[in-house]
Amino acid sequence: MSTLDSIDHAIMRTLQDNGRISNAELAERVGLSPSACSRRLDILEKNGTISGYHARLSNKALEYKMMVIVHISLSGQFAKTLTEFETAVKRCPNILVCYLMSGEYDYILRVAAKDLEDYERIHRDWLSALPHVVKINSSFALREIIDRPNVGL
Protein backbone atom coordinates (compact mmCIF):
# COMPACT_ATOMS: atom_id res chain seq x y z
CA MET A 1 0.00 0.00 0.00
CA SER A 2 1.35 3.42 -0.93
CA THR A 3 1.89 6.21 1.55
CA LEU A 4 -1.14 8.39 2.15
CA ASP A 5 -0.64 12.09 1.55
CA SER A 6 -2.52 15.15 2.82
CA ILE A 7 -5.06 14.99 -0.03
CA ASP A 8 -5.85 11.33 0.76
CA HIS A 9 -6.35 12.32 4.39
CA ALA A 10 -8.60 15.21 3.36
CA ILE A 11 -10.69 12.86 1.20
CA MET A 12 -11.04 10.38 4.07
CA ARG A 13 -11.89 13.07 6.66
CA THR A 14 -14.55 14.50 4.36
CA LEU A 15 -16.06 11.07 3.67
CA GLN A 16 -16.10 10.24 7.39
CA ASP A 17 -18.26 13.33 7.93
CA ASN A 18 -20.46 12.72 4.88
CA GLY A 19 -20.22 9.44 2.99
CA ARG A 20 -22.95 10.57 0.58
CA ILE A 21 -21.12 13.64 -0.71
CA SER A 22 -20.98 13.90 -4.50
CA ASN A 23 -17.65 13.45 -6.22
CA ALA A 24 -17.85 17.02 -7.55
CA GLU A 25 -18.32 18.48 -4.05
CA LEU A 26 -15.64 16.19 -2.59
CA ALA A 27 -13.21 17.29 -5.31
CA GLU A 28 -13.94 20.94 -4.59
CA ARG A 29 -13.41 20.50 -0.84
CA VAL A 30 -10.05 18.77 -1.26
CA GLY A 31 -8.79 20.96 -4.10
CA LEU A 32 -8.79 18.47 -6.98
CA SER A 33 -10.53 18.16 -10.31
CA PRO A 34 -13.47 15.71 -10.23
CA SER A 35 -11.59 13.20 -12.41
CA ALA A 36 -8.45 13.33 -10.22
CA CYS A 37 -10.59 13.00 -7.10
CA SER A 38 -12.41 10.01 -8.57
CA ARG A 39 -9.09 8.31 -9.37
CA ARG A 40 -7.80 8.91 -5.84
CA LEU A 41 -11.02 7.59 -4.35
CA ASP A 42 -10.85 4.49 -6.55
CA ILE A 43 -7.30 3.78 -5.35
CA LEU A 44 -8.30 4.23 -1.69
CA GLU A 45 -11.17 1.78 -2.18
CA LYS A 46 -9.14 -0.79 -4.14
CA ASN A 47 -6.24 -0.85 -1.68
CA GLY A 48 -8.65 -1.31 1.25
CA THR A 49 -8.00 2.03 2.95
CA ILE A 50 -11.71 2.77 2.47
CA SER A 51 -13.42 -0.49 3.27
CA GLY A 52 -17.03 0.51 2.64
CA TYR A 53 -19.85 3.00 3.01
CA HIS A 54 -22.56 2.50 5.60
CA ALA A 55 -25.65 4.13 7.02
CA ARG A 56 -25.18 4.64 10.76
CA LEU A 57 -28.46 3.61 12.34
CA SER A 58 -29.70 4.80 15.71
CA ASN A 59 -30.03 1.93 18.17
CA LYS A 60 -32.30 4.12 20.27
CA ALA A 61 -34.62 4.88 17.32
CA LEU A 62 -34.76 1.14 16.62
CA GLU A 63 -35.69 0.62 20.30
CA TYR A 64 -32.43 -1.09 21.27
CA LYS A 65 -32.12 0.83 24.51
CA MET A 66 -29.66 -1.48 26.22
CA MET A 67 -25.97 -2.04 25.43
CA VAL A 68 -24.31 -4.95 27.15
CA ILE A 69 -20.60 -5.64 27.35
CA VAL A 70 -20.12 -9.39 27.58
CA HIS A 71 -16.90 -11.11 28.62
CA ILE A 72 -16.59 -14.71 27.44
CA SER A 73 -14.20 -17.44 28.60
CA LEU A 74 -13.77 -20.57 26.52
CA SER A 75 -12.70 -24.07 27.51
CA GLY A 76 -9.39 -23.58 25.66
CA GLN A 77 -7.67 -21.59 22.96
CA PHE A 78 -7.04 -24.30 20.42
CA ALA A 79 -7.43 -23.18 16.80
CA LYS A 80 -10.49 -25.42 16.32
CA THR A 81 -12.13 -24.05 19.49
CA LEU A 82 -11.60 -20.43 18.45
CA THR A 83 -12.78 -21.06 14.88
CA GLU A 84 -15.96 -22.82 16.02
CA PHE A 85 -16.76 -20.05 18.50
CA GLU A 86 -16.07 -17.26 15.97
CA THR A 87 -18.19 -18.94 13.30
CA ALA A 88 -21.12 -19.26 15.71
CA VAL A 89 -20.83 -15.76 17.18
CA LYS A 90 -21.17 -14.22 13.71
CA ARG A 91 -24.68 -15.69 13.41
CA CYS A 92 -26.17 -13.69 16.29
CA PRO A 93 -27.64 -10.45 14.91
CA ASN A 94 -27.57 -8.71 18.30
CA ILE A 95 -23.79 -9.00 18.64
CA LEU A 96 -22.44 -5.76 17.22
CA VAL A 97 -18.75 -6.23 18.02
CA CYS A 98 -16.61 -9.21 18.97
CA TYR A 99 -12.92 -9.04 19.90
CA LEU A 100 -10.48 -11.86 20.61
CA MET A 101 -8.64 -10.66 23.72
CA SER A 102 -5.52 -11.19 25.72
CA GLY A 103 -5.92 -11.27 29.48
CA GLU A 104 -8.54 -12.78 31.75
CA TYR A 105 -11.29 -13.30 29.15
CA ASP A 106 -10.99 -14.79 25.68
CA TYR A 107 -13.56 -12.54 23.97
CA ILE A 108 -15.37 -9.27 24.61
CA LEU A 109 -18.69 -8.63 22.87
CA ARG A 110 -20.92 -5.58 22.54
CA VAL A 111 -24.54 -6.70 22.42
CA ALA A 112 -27.64 -4.62 21.65
CA ALA A 113 -30.90 -5.50 23.41
CA LYS A 114 -34.29 -3.82 23.53
CA ASP A 115 -34.64 -4.35 27.28
CA LEU A 116 -33.70 -6.77 30.07
CA GLU A 117 -36.18 -9.39 28.87
CA ASP A 118 -34.71 -9.22 25.37
CA TYR A 119 -31.19 -9.62 26.78
CA GLU A 120 -32.36 -12.64 28.76
CA ARG A 121 -33.55 -14.16 25.45
CA ILE A 122 -30.23 -13.34 23.74
CA HIS A 123 -28.31 -14.83 26.67
CA ARG A 124 -30.43 -17.99 26.75
CA ASP A 125 -30.81 -18.60 23.00
CA TRP A 126 -27.51 -17.30 21.65
CA LEU A 127 -24.74 -16.65 24.17
CA SER A 128 -25.28 -19.76 26.28
CA ALA A 129 -25.49 -21.86 23.12
CA LEU A 130 -22.13 -20.69 21.73
CA PRO A 131 -19.65 -23.56 21.51
CA HIS A 132 -16.93 -24.02 24.14
CA VAL A 133 -18.20 -21.24 26.46
CA VAL A 134 -17.45 -21.89 30.13
CA LYS A 135 -18.07 -18.42 31.57
CA ILE A 136 -20.22 -15.41 30.60
CA ASN A 137 -19.91 -12.11 32.46
CA SER A 138 -22.37 -9.37 31.46
CA SER A 139 -22.08 -5.66 32.28
CA PHE A 140 -24.85 -3.21 31.39
CA ALA A 141 -23.90 0.18 29.99
CA LEU A 142 -25.58 2.98 31.94
CA ARG A 143 -24.85 5.76 29.46
CA GLU A 144 -22.94 6.07 26.19
CA ILE A 145 -20.32 8.77 26.35
CA ILE A 146 -18.73 8.32 22.94
CA ASP A 147 -19.06 5.88 20.03
CA ARG A 148 -16.82 6.87 17.16
CA PRO A 149 -17.30 4.99 13.91
CA ASN A 150 -13.65 5.65 12.92
CA VAL A 151 -10.38 6.85 14.29
CA GLY A 152 -9.76 10.58 13.85
CA LEU A 153 -7.50 11.66 11.00
Mean pLDDT of 123-141: 98
State the pTM of this model: 0.82
Domains and CATH numbers, the chain: 6-46 (1.10.10.10), 66-140 (3.30.70.920)
For 95-105, the pLDDT digits (tens) are: 999 999 999 99
For 31-52, the pLDDT digits (tens) are: 999 999 999 999 999 999 999 9
So what's the pLDDT on residue 50? 94
Question: What confidence tier does 2 reach under pLDDT thresholds 50, 70, 90?
Answer: low
Question: CA-to-CA distance for 13 and 9, rounded, in angstroms?
Answer: 6
Question: CA-to-CA distance for 152 and 34, rounded, in angstroms?
Answer: 25
Is the pLDDT reported for residue 1 higher than 60?
Answer: no
Mean pLDDT of 117-141: 98
Residue 150: Cβ within 10 Å count: 9
So what's the pLDDT on residue 3? 86
